[in-house]
Amino acid sequence: MTTVSGLPLSPAELDALAAQLKKLCGSGGTVRDGVIEIQGEHRERIVAELVKLGWPAKRSGG
């Protein structure tokens, strides 16, 4: 599971970003309690996409 947290977005904006990331990764996922959860290990791809979108993204965890 790859998670994205700490984004100051409305629930609708989080849902839209989650849909974009799921499509990018070809994977399922959801938004739960303000955290985007994408099934599988996609940290590198998601960080690259968030940086491309202008977010100061960084990896965390193992």
Mean pLDDT of 36-51: 95
Please tell me the pTM assigned to this model: 0.91
In a domain, 37, yes or no: yes
Does 59 reside within a domain? Answer: no
Cβ-contact 11, 19 below 8 angstroms? no
Domains of the chain: total: 1
CA distance 38 to 25: 8
Number of H helices and E strands in the chain, helices first, is: 2, 3
Structural domain of residue 30, as residue ranges? 2-52
pLDDT at 38: 97
User: Which CATH number fits the domain that encloses residue 45?
Assistant: 3.30.780.10
What's the average model confidence in pLDDT over 8-18?
96
**Segment 16-38, tens digit of pLDDT:** 999 999 999 999 999 999 999 99
Residue at 30 is within a domain: yes
Question: In angstroms, rounded to a whole number, what is the distance separating the alpha carbons of residues 3 and 9?
Answer: 15
Q: Give the residue-averaged pLDDT of 38-52.
A: 95
pLDDT at 62: 63
In a domain, 57, yes or no: no
- pLDDT value at residue 49: 96
